[in-house]
Amino acid sequence: MKLKNKRFLVIGGAGFIGSHTVEYLIKNDVKEVIVFDNFFRGKKENLMSSLNSKKVKVLEHGGDILQNDILENSLMGIDGVFHFAALWLLQCHEYPESAFKTNVEGTFNVINSCRKKKIKKIVFSSSASVYGDALEEPMPETHPFNSKNFYGSTKIAGEAMLNAFHYRYNQNYVGLRYMNVYGPRQDYSGAYVAVIMKMLDSIDKNEYVTIFGSGKESFDFVSVKDCARANILAMESEIKQGFYNIGTGKKTSLIKLANTLYNILGKKKKIRFKKNTNSTLVKNRIGCIKKAAHDLKYVSKFDLEKGLKELILWRENHKKKNEEK
């Protein structure tokens, strides 16, 4: 789909990946970008720069994907939909009923509403969590679904529904399976922070960075800006149905991640290891991005050190602003 003069609805557009996608969208000659967000996880401050554009507006009547009438009304005259709204991994673990409501029922509402309003394409945020632990590295999109956590199972359900609606109703979609995403605007406070932010917290406090396992556990850490750009490429592509890994294709162990953070910050290394007693946490996950490179023309543009430096700078500035309030 050509983006020029098109109108897009970004569901969860005030969130981590969603807000970056909004920024990338308005760099193109689009007609309008409407942010649909209930601000449970998303934040209006994430949209501060985007809202300077006359092309961007936040839907005033609400942004909850469980409110079907508001959702359907928001799709009037929309060409394409980006669907980011979801409860995160640990929230799904602790609150499975709420996770089902948002991630499964809510995603059904989005897909079904798009069908009714004849939306040209949905770009869906899935996750590498559908795979579970890697049986082969890097993992292709044909890798079996071995997820052991509820978050992964909700994403599998979303993918299955998209596939069914495509074959039954010709609803076009592209699903993106993100690897381990990091970058500016990532949560660094509260109960649900990611591994990089937890490491940075420990380094700030001059405490030991705790690694659960041997430290050899390895992941594909991908910049949020790469993920945002992948969303645009997915919408622009001629692909009408399919799922794609979005990552770097590069393997980084947890011990290497911790050492890289210490080196960037110039701090003395203090690392300890603890036994991993959580059987739902994966130990290895690296994505093969050959399919995305071929079909979507996607390649990662941010190496890990560059991306981490950008994240650290944003985090420091953001914490200072909050302290000054």
d(CA 280, CA 285): 13
**Within 10 Å of residue 297's Cβ, how many Cβ atoms?**
11
**Cβ proximity of 41 and 60 under 8 Å:** no
Nearby residues of 204 by Cβ (< 8 Å), 6 or more positions away: none
User: The tokens of 73 are what?
Assistant: 């009304």
Count of CA atoms in the C-beta half-sphere (13 A) of 57: 10
Catalytic residue status for 169? no
Identify the CA nearest to 25 among candidates 37, 38, 12, 10.
10
Could you say which of 151, 173, 182, 298 is catalytic?
Answer: 151
> Is the omega angle on the peptide bond into residue 184 within 30 degrees of 0, that is, cis?
no
Count CB-CB contacts under 10 A for residue 152: 23
- Within 10 angstroms of residue 93's Cβ, the number of other Cβ atoms is 16
The catalytic site residues sit at 151
